[in-house]
Amino acid sequence: MTLLTLVRHGQTDWNLARRIQGSTDIPLNDEGRADARTAAGRLAGSVHHAIYASPLLRARETAEIISAELGLEPPVLVPDLREREFGEGEGLLVSDYIGRYGDWSAPVPGAETLEGVAERALSALDEIARDSRRRSTPAAESVIVVAHGGVIRALIDHVSGGTLPRIGQVIANGSAHRFEASPGSLRLLEQTVLV
């Protein structure tokens, strides 16, 4: 069993403007760097053995700040942790996206489905749990994973059978969700710790 603490990256200017980032590589802003330091401070109360992150700049920089604050090795980058690809919706203001497509599950040309994001992220988490056990002596039991709101939302939706997150519930920048990973199984233990 491996404990996985999924942390959403810190704020970007596009988050602040409520613009859909998706796979667009937007950096953290100053508030986002503060979010990362705050998350690190709250994570410091627990033992963590390793840190992994999406390769997108906003997640990678958040992970680098957390790893430096906690004295961990630099983050291992995992391509399948990247944010959902929003296709033609990418770069739109959230209000324009909803106005054009209706809701987050509507088909959008070039966009990944929520199910596709969950499938890719589940596979990535399974590999992270295996990799962290191989890299650490003793085997890593607690790992930080810095990802994106859409990825975390898709995972919560999957493991809860569609009952969580509740409609309108925000996956806040710098927030964390704790999961337990066992071979072939992922279970949500705690939502939005650290806020």
Report, as residue numbers or ranges, the catalytic residues: 9, 83
Beta strand 2-8 with 176-182 is antiparallel
Name the DSSP class of 12: B
Q: Could you tell me which residues come within 8 angstroms of residue 110 by beta carbon, excluding any fewer than 6 positions away?
A: 85, 86, 87, 88
Secondary structure (3-state) at 26 = coil
CB burial class (10 A; 0-12, 13-18, 19+) of residue 57? Answer: middle
